[in-house]
Structure formats: structure tokens, C-alpha cells
Structure 1
Amino acid sequence: MLSATQIAALTTSQVNNLTTAQIVALSTSQTRALTTSQVAALTTAQVAKLETEDVAALSAAQIAKMSTAQIAAGLSTAQLSALSTAQIAALTADHVKNLTSNQLVAMSTAQIRAFTPNQIQALTTAQLALMQTEDFVALSSAQIAALTTDQVASLSTDQIVDLTTSQVKGLTATQIKAMSTDQVASMETADFAMLSVSQIASLTTDQVRNLTTAQIVALSTAQARALSTSQIGALSTLQVSKLELADVAALSAGQIAKMTTDQIAAG
């Protein structure tokens, strides 16, 4: 059996020409002994023949040096599922954006949660759409905050509904502005009620005029007072009529002054 030193001495050409039987025969210590250049020299067919325990033995540095083809076309779903969270975090942005649908679905919740902010931003909108509910709701507030505006805008209303309260609280003002009126309206009442005053202030006038009755009722006095005069002006008469008395009483003189006669009459 070749030692780790002997394995490391193989040229990249020699590694590239190892037979299927030789790849399968590699021990975990031999696999880990491969240099990053040797790992990069493996064909996708050779990568596919690495045993699961060998793949799990690869270092973060070895993983990072693999090509997108080696990851996407070489690793099976079983091999990818065997990667540790440290190995997942070592994947490059290019690796992540080229993961296949089957690979992404096969990933565990712990692996998804191991994605760094840069990896989260590398996900395509199509990949985000494929993310399973249990994985999506497990994303940390930091991961949610890392989503680009395009990614946020691509989320389905079902995914918005699935957001936990802590995830909703983690949304940035820029992300909230990027949401469609349907997305904002689909936000669960309990989550909407927990938005900070700065998040409320970031809502566009279109988003405000499309808030549901339940969301209007759920507004706290602090949230109602955080509405800008433009947002106040965007409220429909029905929405104004649904404001709780405590919320109306909390409105500033400036907010009241910007209300239309129809809004005043409705309130």
C-alpha cells in the first residue's frame, strides 16, 4: 500500500490517469494526502468513484480547489450529503451557484445553515425556489440579511409565509423595499407586528396601500407613529377605519395634517 508520502509524490498526470479500481481503493488517509493540485487534476468520473468516507475526509483546502465541474458533475448526492459543515463552508461561490437541483435538495438543514453570507448570495433564484421549507426556515438572521434584493424579490409568497419572526426581524430596509406588494401582504400578522419602526418606515407607499386589514389592525402604536406622511397618505379609507383607537391617538400632528378629508371621515 502506498504511503501518504508516496501518494503526495504522484504527478498530476499520474493522478489524472488512475483507474477506477485505484480510485476506489484509496484509503481515507491516502485521499487526505492528495495535494490540492492533485485533487484538481481528478476527472469528474474519478471524483464520482471516491467513496463517501474518502470525500468526508477531504480538507477544506482540498474542497476549495475543486472545480465547479468536479463538484456539480462529480459528486453524487450521497457524497455531497457526507460533507461536514466545515467542508460546506469551504465551497466557493462558483461551486454553490452550480450545485444541481438534486444536490441542493439532498443537503441537510445543518449543511444549508453552514452557508456563509457570500455563499448565500451566490445562490441563484432558481436554487432558492428549490430550497425545502425545513431548510429555508432554518436560515439564520445573518443569512437572511445576506440575501440580495433580487433574491428577496424572487421568494414565493409561501416562502414569505414560512419566514420565522426572527428572520423577518432580520430583513434590512433595502430588502423590504425590494419586496412586491403581494410578498408584503403575505407576511404573517404576528411577524408583521414585530417589524421595527425602521422597517415600517422603509415600506413603499404601494406596499402600505396593499397591507391587509389584519396587518393594519396588528400595527402597534410605535409602528403607526413611524409611518411617514407619504405612507399615511397612501392608506385607503378602509385601512384608516381599521386603525385601532390607540394607534390613531398616537399619530403626530404632522401625520394627521397629511390625511385627506376622506381619510379623516373614515377614521
Structure 2
Amino acid sequence: MSFARQLTEGYRNRKFDIDKRKTEDFMERFFRFIFFLELQRCSEMGEIEARLRQFRAEFEELLISAAGEQSPGADYFFERFPKVYEMLKEDATFIFEHDPAAKSVEEVMFSYPGFFAIAVYRFSHELERMKIPLIPRIWTELAHSRTGIDIHPGATIGRKFFIDHGTGIVIGETTVIGTQVKLYQGVTLGALSVNKDLQHEKRHPTIEDRTVIYANATILGGDTVIGTNSLIGGNVWITESVAPNSVVFHKGLVTVKNKMPVNEPINFII
């Protein structure tokens, strides 16, 4: 079969008539609009309402392209978006209150990659719950490409969530995260096995309320529960549950010595 014929058959047989770039563009523009990141000040109620109607119409088209006749319609989701929006404002405030480098909530909204990833996740999660195909993953992979933070839209994440720095974070599909949880860069909340026959099982850990997980910690397994108020240190590897109020840390050996005077010969031959 020629390459051109392969492409022809691919286009004929594809399941969804969805425009990936248009889907990504919608989320980026919607995020900028609702968090006041546009240069133009929309200070009139009528203007705001007109913009929201336009976004609703565009979103309706996206839903139909992905779900067809099974689409619940844009109205259903836009009725839920104000609740999601309130959660995101809580997230932004929580980040500001716990990051000494943050000068304002506005700075968090404008510039923090963790906040962008959380926002995209929360909107995507609403669609994932309704089993809307493709769009949730397109959105969260957009955030992944922009920030290095990989959150599956199927994960369950509570209120007041804080991602600091964020690069390299992975949060798997069946992860459950409670309220007021803080994650630092490089954290993996993953599965012990990636066998396809486990796709309907809980494969990823549960992180209970007010837990802090520091950089490059790896927590694996669907039966693994990190108890409330725990502190997980950097670079640890956890595959078993941890009781509430625990402190888990990796005890490494770091040796520091003065390089002068040098007792070993510098000019040696191997």
C-alpha cells in the first residue's frame, strides 16, 4: 500500500472529526480571559456576557466534534464552570499564602506553571467525569507540554492544591489527592504495573489531607495511602502505606572535604 493510500484510509476511518489545534487554542484563550490575563480590560458587563456566549458557542462545537449526538451540550458544563472557578481561586490563594516567593495572587495567575496545570486539569476533569472523549486529554497534554506537569484528567484532586515549581510531576489516572496538599518538582504518583488488563483498577496512590511531598519523591501503587498531615522527603521511593502524621525521609551519605591541600597526586597516569 502506498503512503498516500495509507493516509487516505486513515482519514476515512478516523473516529473523531476534531481539530486538535482549535481545541488547544480554546483552552488557552479561555484561561487568559477568565483570569484577567488579556491586555484589554473587559470592564463592561455586556462585553463580558458577549465573550462568554462566544466561548459557549465554540465549546459546543468542540463537544459535538468529540461526542457527537452523545454530547451533553455546552450549557451543562458552563453551569458547572463557576464552581470550578471558585476552586481555582482557592488554589491560587493557597499557593500565594504558602509560597514566600509569591508577591500576589495575580502573580500566581499570571505566571505560575503549577496554577496553569491545575486550572487545565480541573476543567478537563469535569469533561472526563462525563466521559467526553479526547478533549480532556488534549487539554491536559497541552498543559503538560507548556509546564512539564503531567496530570491525568481522571485523577481526583481536592481543594487548595499547591504545585511548586512543578517540572517533572506525574499524577496518574486513579490518583486520589485530598485537600491542602503540596507537591514539589519531580514527584511521581504512579502505578506499580502498567499492564493493560489493569486499566479499570485503582493503580495509583491516595494522598490524604495536608500532606507535603518534596522534590523527586516517587509513590507507587493503588493500595498505597499516605496518611493525613504526613511529610514525605525528597528522593524517597514508597510502595507501602504510611500512617497519618508520619515523616518519611531518605537517609543518604554526603561527604564534603576540602580539596586543599591535595594529598593525592594530580598528574597521574591510568
Could you state the TM-score of these two structures normalised by the residue count of structure 2?
0.24
- Greater gyration radius: 1
Higher strand share: 2
